[in-house]
Chains A and B, each alone.
Chain A
Amino acid sequence: MTPALPAPVHYSVPRRGIDGFCDAWHAIGGTSERITSLDERADPTPTADLVHATAAIAQTGSIVIDSSRNARAASLLPDRCAFVIDASTIVDTPGDVLRERARWWPGAMPSQIVFVTGPSRSADIEMTLTVGVHGPGRVHAIIIG
């Protein structure tokens, strides 16, 4: 018995495309730049590891990464981290990734997939926001194309 698919989730203020992604990503504390090729980078932040994104989600400002393309530690151990996103992989909603699993991972599942939605943060003490508590506190998106 296969149950009916749950209805898609709709949002009050839909965010779409590259601009939508950048709005959401900046709102949660990320930075971004847009270039046509990686060689073009004006400020190649040397201490940041480059992490290659599988997809990005405009609605929530999330970057989807997986362990088949990157070392897990690269987006986790440094103080800052830069993600490389191919503009054609920016989708509108989390559902566009979660409900289209075969589009993004046609073969065997990677051992770990992570939706990264902003810098590492905690509000465990007095609800005061502090970033970079374990993972990177500065996160940068490089959008190609």
Chain B
Amino acid sequence: MNDVAVRFVTRADRELRNDRVRAAVRHTTSLLAANRSTALDGLADPDAVRDSAHAIRRRAIDTLPQLLDRWAARATANGIIVHRARTAADAVRVVLDLADAQATAGHSPVRIAKGKSMASEEIDLNDALEAAGHEVVETDLGEFIIQLAREKPSHLIVPAIHKSRFDVAELFTTDAGRPIEPDVDAEAAYARARLREAFLRADIGITGVNFAIAETGSVCLVENEGNGRMCTSLPRVHVAIMGMERIVDTWAELDVMLALLARSATGQALSVYTNIISGPRRDDELDGPDEVHVIVLDNGREAIVGTEFDDALLCIRCGACLNVCPVYRNIGGHAYGTVYSGPIGAVLMPLLRPDDPASRELSEASTLCGACTEVCPVRIPLHDLLLRERHRDAPGDASRLRRVTFRLWSVAWAHPLSYRISIHVVRAILRLSSRVPKLARRAPGWAGAWTRDRVVPRVRR
């Protein structure tokens, strides 16, 4: 595993030297974290609501097969076509078949407008659709920027968190073939006009799902821009992709989840558009898609259910844990090299991709400070899960040297005399080094990275 570990560290190290990205990520995550805590204060008893949300999500995971069956039966009765996809390839296949059906119906090339969906990122859907000759446009402003840059999102909620308005102006200028000013309103206006065309011409709209609701066979989708509503309203066919764990039982439960989701994500009481979709256009309705498909994606999730790690499936993808994570805040999302980043990425990727060493090593990408656990709206014990993953992955045969060192340490500190001697030795070293401060700042090897910017505290008697 060692050379793989170097890979994450190397990427992290590279990002650490990218001052522009670090500044942008810090700026945005600080604002989001502050907005979140103000918004949670708007609830009379936020901790009680979080407990309630935890219980709701926990019960959903404990009864997942029944809940999904119940949802699917109602959804089907409403006219929604439900597809179950065990693997990423299965899910991609479903979408490709739907696109092919449009092509056969004479809409060629097939034009696809996409709303924000992490599940679609997870299965690399865009690459597959483009390879098959279809036109795909990301329509969330942040996702559109990322698509033009040919990159991956680097934050759950703010995919282009690492781009400045100057970066965006450059990308838009190239896309437009005329200068677009580095002004946020001008950039938004360009995106509005450019993407409006895409919406009006799209044959298929693809979105994610925030929650499926079993009670009525509905799916709930939240967003701020209106692009999600366009994707679910204007094209003939709407395809929604949901992680199989993203389900609640009742609308009363949805009430609790919605009270936390936007507050934790952006600090809003509710997102601008909370859509609840219960089927294709009804005969007495004026507009809406003729077909609604929901793809229920497993892709490694079912294998987690029932293990000691399955609290990871409670996640509602609010991004709050990213915003407070000292690791994420310093290296951004791309350093992780996986679709999910930050604390939840570090927990989830090793579980979703147990056979991929690059995913598996991410449980090391944390200081275990616990800030993530503190903010998680559904109370996932994130740092505890990371620790358990590390424990699972730790080689049983710790090196001799390591075992002897820890053994000696525990013996030494178990006896008052040897404990006191050890403290005297450390104090003597520190006293010596404080006489030669320059030397103290240049400890050898990796220790130097610590001593360069830090003052060693004095050890008391």
Contact = CB atoms under 8 A, between A and B. Distances in A.
Interface string B160-171: 100111001000
B273 A114 contact: yes
Interface string B232-250: 1110000000000000011
Contact of A135 (B28, B140, B225, B286): B225
B102 interface: no
B62 to A, nearest CB: 11
A122 B229 contact: no
B165 A115 contact: no
A62 B196 CA distance: 25
A13 interface: yes
Interface residues of A, number: 55
Interface string B242-283: 000000011111111011000000101111111111111110
B184 A113 contact: no
B285 interface: yes
B49 interface: yes
Contact of A116 (B28, B250, B258, B272): B272
Contacts of B159: 124
Nearest to B160: A124
Interface string B265-309: 010111111111111111011111000100000000000000000
Contacts, number: 199
Contacts of A9: 43, 49, 255-256, 259
A95 B252 contact: yes
Interface stretch (B1-9, B186-194, B346-354, B400-408): B186-194
Interface in B344-367: none
Contact of B188 (A7, A61, A94, A130): A130
Given A9-B256, A109-B218, A60 B269 contact: yes
B171 to A, nearest CB: 11
A133 B251 contact: no
Interface in B9-30: 24, 27-28
Nearest to B158: A124
B233 A112 contact: yes
B216 interface: yes
Interface in B152-202: 158-160, 163-165, 168, 184-185, 187-188, 191-192, 195-196, 199
A94 B270 contact: yes
A133 B256 contact: no
B261 to A, nearest CB: 12
Given A68-B285, A120-B225, A128-B184, A94 B259 contact: yes
Contacts of B165: 125-126, 128
Given A76-B229, A126-B27, A111 B282 contact: yes
B45 to A, nearest CB: 6
Which of B184, B225, B229, B272: most chain A CB closer than 10 A? B272
B42 interface: yes
Contacts of A135: 225-226, 229, 272-273
Contact of A76 (B184, B226, B276, B292): B226
Nearest to A13: B42
Contact of B275 (A12, A113, A124): A113
Interface of B: 24, 27-28, 31-32, 41-45, 48-49, 52, 55-56, 59, 78, 139-142, 145, 158-160, 163-165, 168, 184-185, 187-188, 191-192, 195-196, 199, 216, 218, 224-227, 229-230, 232-234, 249-256, 258-259, 266, 268-282, 284-288, 292
19 contacts: A3-B59, A6-B56, A68-B284, A76-B226, A76-B229, A76-B233, A99-B252, A109-B78, A111-B281, A111-B285, A111-B292, A112-B232, A124-B141, A126-B27, A126-B28, A126-B165, A126-B184, A127-B28, A134-B139
The 3 closest A-B pairs by CB, nearest first: A135-B226, A124-B142, A134-B226
Interface of A: 3, 5-13, 24, 28, 59-62, 67-68, 70-73, 76, 94-95, 98-99, 101, 108-128, 130, 132-136
